[in-house]
Structure 1
Amino acid sequence: MTVTAPSLLAAPGASAEWSAEVHRDEQALIALAGDLRDLYDRSPAATPFQAYEWIKSWWGWYGTRGRLRLATVRCRGRLVAAAPLAAGVRHGFPVLVPIAADQSDFTDVLLDPAYADGAVRHLARALLDERGWCALDLREVRPGSAAHLLAARWPRRAWRTPSSVCLELPVGAAGSGTGIDAVLDRLPGRTAGKMRAKLRKIDVRGITAESVPADRVPDAVHALLDLHTRQWRGRPINPEHTRERFRRHLAEAAAGMVRDGRAAVLQYRWDDRLVAGDLVLIGHRHVGAYLYGALPDLRSRVDVSLMMLREDLALARDRHRQSVSLLRGDEPYKLKWRPTPVRNERIILGRTAAATAYAGLARTRAYLSERRRGGPGAPAGPFGSASRLLHD
């Protein structure tokens, strides 16, 4: 454990004592559970991927002993910032990465905005005092995230470059133009008419949607993943989705998040037969359609994506959220809804001179990966013309 010396800084309206430390003991995740849950509630920019239940479950199934780096900042004893990180090696460089980054669509740190100025400075100092790493790599930072404040205050070199595109659909203002109606109103009249006909077909067939209570969530997640695997049989599937550790992580995380109102598992039944399942993560501002599964033959009978989108939008409306995020990827089946694209950024914060080489290599590998996928590739230049060196 690395501990920074307490200091006195100005907090909102008064002088307050600050302290920061970096925890390496895995028991810290358990001991700080209440504080981390409370801080998440006070962190409006945080997404469900920073919720305690998500990171704790992931660490239990994926984490490596000795690699936890949980940086925390307190003001007069109250937790006001936290960065749940893990130490690792990427491309031969020692780095820090957010816990659960590989299974998360957004990465960030937790920050109470009432203490932002002092909390960010102390968080940066605690991380820089921690030895053994050259760069902090935040791959999927959403616009408006607390990580942007950390990058702006970072006293050494920092880079950012465009990352994944996420697509969002507005829930709509209260009234008749909400939910699926608000989305269909964005489409050409002929297309919207066809979609409404498909919704009537779903209703006529009697397919029902049920939100699963927390005590039944683990079984529901296992059933969802079984459907997901069947749905992708014979086609390329994310291999992690077929592994037991992912199954156990998702079941454990979803159960806690549903209990706390931070997720919902929806099951769709036709004549009492389970035909589809959907895991929706509920953030402060939006809900995210994370993973679903459906019987392969269901697609030939109804529009599955439309059926689930209607329920996800209704959930967002009922929880007073602004939008439904279709999360990473701009696949054609998402684009037909005319969603709003929101681009994440990759932020790399350097600690040592080796960070420059790491950032350049990371940029090059991202460019080549994009080209292999047939995309337009990343902008030209040593770190991309669309990328910016934040500061020296």
Structure 2
Amino acid sequence: MVRLTRVQQQARTRAAVLDAAVEEFAEHGYADAKVDRIAARADLTRGAVYSNFTSKRSLYMAVLLDHTSPHASPLPATATSGRLEAGAAAEAFARTWLERLPLAGDSAAAGRLRSRSVTGVFDDRSGRAVLAAITRLESLMLGLALEACPPVAGRRVRLAELILTLLHGADHLAGTAPGFGDPFDVTQACGHLARTTLHDEWDPPHLPFVRDAEPRDDPWHPADGVADDGVLVILGSARLGAAEEAVRAAGGERVTVAVVSGDPAETGALVRLRITEFTACLRRAFPPVAAAPLHIELDDGPALAAAAGAAITDDTETAVRIRDGRIVARASGRGAGHAVAVAP
């Protein structure tokens, strides 16, 4: 008889709960799913479920992260060489993004699971704040990729916001009115949007009033050696929209955004799900030359925060400049990334 270690038994229990939860969420959806039914499907007790997952929401996020994956398809031929024109790049991105939408034959619950929808899951005030912050970061990521595409233009974040508004609208309609609209039309519309000329200036009114960064001369010893010289911004999951302040002020210098969360199983998992999938879509749609000087660090965010002496909460906003293995400037609070990026 083979005896399982405690770790092996925990892993087996967790896997059984996740398998049962996939069935429950696909059949009933998030709102109507019951933890008691999930436990019964897995032949476990309710306590066994909660010993692995602190809430139904954390369990749902674990399902989305562990039991679903983006549908792969090869890059368009034009995306593997040279620089894509902005409209063509936007169309390639839209095609990749729309692949995850539910099929016409999916039930409503199964469709939401397929599209990794979090509609109605984070409907509290703090959850909505995190969703807004994530979408602002996604707009920045797409905008920077479009800015690297010809024709040469200035800021394209507002265009990215319009494209994401259209794509999220298509996502919503796919779940509420299956069969409505043509994804090819949506793709072409995204291309047209990317070719639109918008007045888009970067001039936040609060930045002139941000306190200067504090000069420092401290050793930099992150646990695993990540984060090279440059600007490191530690942002909580509700403050991700502040990433652009550092990027614009850095003027092309490398900026690393380390993401932290006060609740890794819920808001932290939400950030990981959205940003991981979004990054995959960008990589499949844009050629490597479109890579922006922005690196999002999800795995080692807490370790980098600890090395920089930053708090780990949803509202964290701390930045340091690293040079030759030392911290030479530091700032905390609103505008920290900007202050460090412009520091002498």
Q: Which has the higher helix share?
A: 2
TM-score (ref. length: structure 1): 0.26
